[in-house]
A and B are shown apart, each in its own frame.
Chain A
Amino acid sequence: MAVCIAVIAKENYPLYIRSTPTEDELKFHYMVHTSLDVVDEKISAMGKALVDQRELYLGLLYPTEDYKVYGYVTNSKVKFVMVVDSSNTALRDNEIRSMFRKLHNSYTDVMCNPFYNPGDRIQSR
């Protein structure tokens, strides 16, 4: 189960970040922040091809002993970062992908709302 999900804007500030409250949230925030470097590295590595061809799902960014961090970036350079607990049997890649897909869909739903200014914090119910 994902313990932390973050939506990072293009300029690398968080639009939405939510962790399971059991753990120290600051730790997750820090992990997400550090993972941004990895995300950028992956983006640039693939940057040769045109954006459209670039895979959106970045995969495992880096593992720690407790957690794994997965990344996903949209075409508008909005990044989704997910921290997953390693204790349970590792979630399959497909599941992570589907989670990201749902996240992306929700994000576009938010975008659709004309009352939402891009770059604002996202309020989630």
Chain B
Amino acid sequence: MEVAAGGGCGAGPPLLLSESEQQCYSELFARCAGAASGSPGPGPPEATRVAPGTATAAAGPVADLFRASQLPPETLHQITELCGAKRVGYFGPTQFYVALKLIAAAQSGLPVRTESIKCELPLPRFVMSKSDAEIRFGNPAELHGKKVQIPYLTTEKNSLKRMDDEDKQQETPSPTMSPLASPPSSPPHYQRVSLSHGYSKLRSGTEQMQPASYETRQPIGQPEGSSSEGPGSKPLRRQASLIRSFSVERELQDNSINYPDEPWRITEEQREYYVNQFRSLQPDPNSFISGSVAKNFFTKSKLSIPELSYIWELSDADCDGALTLPEFCAAFHLIVARKNGYPLPEGLPPTLQPEYLQAAFPKSKWECAIFDSYSESMPANQQPCDLNRMEKTSVKDMADFPVPTQDATTGDDKQALKSTVTEPLPKDLSEDTATSKDYNSLKARPRSRSYSSTSIEETMKRGEDPPTPPPRPQKTHSRASSLDLNKVFQPSVPATNSGLLPPPPALPPRPCQTQSEPVTEADLHPQLNRAPSQAAESSPAKKDAPHAQPPSKPIRRKFRTENQTTESQEPAAAVGGAASAAVVKPHPTVQKQSSKQKKAIQTAIRKNKEANAVLARLNSELQQQLKEVHQERIALENQLEQLRPVTVL
């Protein structure tokens, strides 16, 4: 596939590469290309002639690679000439592949001729002395200079992959391993780490990784590259700090399904990494990341804006302006691949499709919880129908009982956020309102733009996830506290135009005064939502906590009024006119509150508050725009009126 991708580079003898060869070569090429410089399209200045998006391998790493093949220099010269690099002046993918094939031929004892490469050849062998992972196909990796021990690094990816595809991996173990990061001296930030090993970088890069879990997965099957992974980790670690967790990983192995596009497969470690990053942006794995937040985050990768824009187009499959977790992982993965020098694909590879990713997700622990809660929330989800645009807010952390109300609330939030997320979007809000909720078509892009439906659907699917983060201190009542929060945020709302969600982790302990309530309160809060009361009725019906009801009722009233005040304060209650009256009016349904659930509720509350704040801000901005537009309209109509009498006459 790389051959095709790099095809633009120019002519070379027609190549027939086997699957393993393709993988190996593309990986090598990417490595050479990436090693030259961290940005796409590196290489000598003449490489600029190459079509954008195709990387060229710089002469330095390529020369190293060739030397590593342990062929005599004159043979290497011959090869270079034959492959056409001399002719065109740079090593494009085609030239590179031809060269590799010639090296394989030479190593097999065949004369270096163009005809030699037409036949089936074993893969070329390279022995790297440096920390470069040895690119050895079918050969157990040899340790290189750096021995870093991060055993779990290799094992983890390898074991995962190997377990999946033991047979397949035979041929391509090395590719994954080889691109282990070059020595620390190499380009600072995006090391070429084989995707399978990427997590080593991940680990270093992000302190969020839980080494423990990885460690447990000790070398399940020492695949060939495991050792080579080790060396890479150390340098990676050092560099990790430089790289803001944008580890360069290349996925070269199949996970469970044998997709031909190896580099686009996300390994388990990568996924963990992405999930952690997602969590850092948005604590709830079930909700979305808004466009602006994602934009800031991805901008840190130092890719050009058009490329980021293209990646976004690819990964935001439902085109809702927000990234769900699989979309986020896909986008992240594309960025990583791009940093490694892979040209961006024309379309989203099947392994990066959100459905595929989501299906693959169940591995993670939180997924289970999500699914559990999801099943519960399913019925309740029907209510928040009106949601127009899904907003990434929140989450329904509630499990079980609160599910219905939570859903409504969340849905409302989501919708509100989404609708206001992007500036131009409000203009098309009319379109949004018209959209129908198409709950079932997660991937469908119903042209009526049911953004909300797809997002909601996804969110619902993720279900209410009992809060995964460690217990949060705040015990803030949903509405009452949100009221406080709103007051806190509102002064800053007009000022801040960042559109960023307040970093969830940094949220100060809510001034939750009112809440020292019994669980029921917490219960209520999630339900209290700005919009007009919602269908929550159904949720109350579902909930059963009769015992909790009486005490919660009076409290609910109080919060309700607060809530309404809050709502009045925030014109955002309209939330983008979102119809959703998804607010669940608390019928204190509270139910069986276990402390765990309470935490979940609190998390949900927090998220809702954040969403509220963002929505309030957006709303005020929209109101402003609306005023301007109205004024313009009035002015135009005035002009028209003035002209009218003239024409009449």
B319 touches A (CB below 8 Å) = yes
* CB closest residue in chain B, given A40: B636
Our count of residue pairs bridging A and B at CB distance below 8 angstroms stands at: 73
Residue B633 CB within 8 A of the other chain: yes
Interchain CA distance A44-B633 in the complex, whole Å: 10
Establish whether residues B295 and A47, one from each chain, have CB atoms under 8 Å apart when the complex forms.
Answer: no
Q: Does B261 belong to the interface (CB within 8 Å)? A: no
Complex Cα–Cα for A76 and B625 (A): 11
Contact A112 B320 (CB under 8 A): yes
User: Does A116 belong to the interface (CB within 8 Å)?
Assistant: yes
B-contacting residues, A50-83, CB 8 Å: 51-52, 74-76, 78
Task: Say yes or no for A114: interface residue by CB 8 A criterion.
Answer: yes
Q: Per a CB cutoff under 8 Å, which of A78, A105, A111 touches B422?
A: A111
For the complex formed, measure the closest distance between the CB of B565 and the CB atoms of chain A, giving whole angstroms: 30
Taking A47-B637, A113-B316, A114-B294 as contacts, is the C-beta distance between A108 and B431 under 8 angstroms? yes
A101 interface residue per 8 A CB criterion: yes
In-complex Cβ contact of B430 among A75, A114, A115 (8 A): A75
A123 near B: Cβ within 8 Å?
Answer: yes
Q: Interface residues of B, CB < 8 Å — how many?
A: 34
A74 contacts which of B305, B312, B319, B428 (Cβ < 8 Å)? B428
B92 touches A (CB below 8 Å): no
* Cβ 8 A contact of A47, one of B294, B313, B425, B640: B640
Chain B residues near A102 (CB, 8 Å)?
A: 447
Task: Tell whether, in the assembled complex, residue B427 and residue A114 are in contact, meaning their CB atoms are under 8 Å apart.
Answer: no
* A-B CB proximity, top 4 nearest: A76-B427, A114-B291, A115-B309, A114-B295
A24 CB-CB contact with B under 8 Å: no
Give the interface SS of chain A, mostly helix, strand, loop or mixed: loop
Known: A75-B428, A76-B427, A112-B319; 6 extra A-B contacts, CB below 8 A, are: A47-B640, A78-B427, A111-B321, A114-B292, A114-B295, A115-B295
Bound CA–CA A112/B305 (angstroms)? 15
A76 to B424, CA, bound (A): 8
- List the B side residues contacting A105 at CB < 8 Å: 445, 447, 449
Closest to B432 in A: A108
Q: Do A108 and B449 have beta carbons less than 8 Å apart? A: yes
Q: List residues of A (92-125) whose CB comes within 8 Å of B's CBs.
A: 101-102, 104-105, 108-109, 111-116, 118, 123, 125
A71 to chain B, nearest CB (A): 18
- Give CA–CA (A105, B636) in the complex, Å: 28
**Closest partner residue, chain B, to A110 (CB atom):** B313
B427 engages A74 (CB within 8 Å): yes
Which of the four size classes fits the interface of chain A?
20 to 34
With A47-B637, A52-B430, A76-B428 already in contact, the answer to whether A112 and B423 are too (CB < 8 A) is no
Chain B neighbourhood of A44, CB < 8 A: 636, 640
> B residues within 8 A CB of A116?
309
Instruction: Give the interface of A toward B (CB within 8 A).
Output: 44, 47-48, 51-52, 74-76, 78, 101-102, 104-105, 108-109, 111-116, 118, 123, 125
Q: List 21 A-B contacts (CB under 8 A).
A: A44-B640, A75-B427, A75-B430, A108-B319, A109-B319, A111-B422, A112-B291, A112-B320, A112-B422, A113-B291, A113-B316, A113-B321, A114-B290, A114-B292, A114-B294, A114-B321, A116-B309, A118-B423, A123-B306, A123-B309, A125-B346
Q: Cβ of B425: which chain A residues have Cβ within 8 Å of it?
A: 108, 111-112
Residues of chain B contacted by A76 (CB below 8 angstroms): 424, 427-428
Kindly supply a per-residue 1/0 record for chain B positions 279-301, scoring 1 wherever the CB is within 8 Å of any chain A CB and 0 otherwise.
00000000000111011000000
The interface residues of chain B lying within 8 Å CB-to-CB of A74 are: 427-428
B308 at the A/B interface (Cβ < 8 Å)?
A: yes
Nearest chain-A residue to B499 (Cβ)?
A114
Residues A47 and B312 in contact in the complex (CB < 8 Å), given A75-B430, A105-B447:
no
Mark contacts of B433-454 with chain A using CB atoms, 8 A cut-off: 1 yes-contact digit, 0 otherwise: 0000000000001010100000
Expressed in whole angstroms, the Cα–Cα distance for A105 and B447 within the complex equals 7
Interface positions of B from 394 to 444, Cβ below 8 Å from A: 421-425, 427-431
Please report the C-alpha to C-alpha distance between residue A52 and residue B428 in the assembled complex, in whole angstroms: 10
Contacts of A114 in B (CB 8 A): 290-292, 294-295, 312, 321, 421-422
Is the CB–CB distance between B636 and A47 below 8 Å?
yes
| Separation of A45 and B346 alpha carbons in the complex (Å) | 43
Chain A's closest residue to B310 (CB) is A125
- Write the chain B residue with the least CB distance to A45: B640
Q: Which residues of A contact B427 (CB under 8 A)?
A: 74-76, 78
Which residues in B have their C-beta under 8 angstroms from that of A78? Answer: 427
B425 smallest CB distance to A (angstroms)? 6
Pairwise interchain contact A108-B428, C-beta atoms closer than 8 A: yes
Separation of A52 and B432 alpha carbons in the complex (Å)? 12
The CA-CA distance from A102 to B290 in the complex, in Å, is 25
Rounded to whole Å, the gap between the CB of A88 and the closest CB of chain B is 25
Select which of A51, A52, A101, A125 is within 8 A of B633 by beta carbon: A51
Give every chain A residue within 8 A of B292 (Cβ-Cβ). 114
Complex Cα distance A74/B434, Å? 14
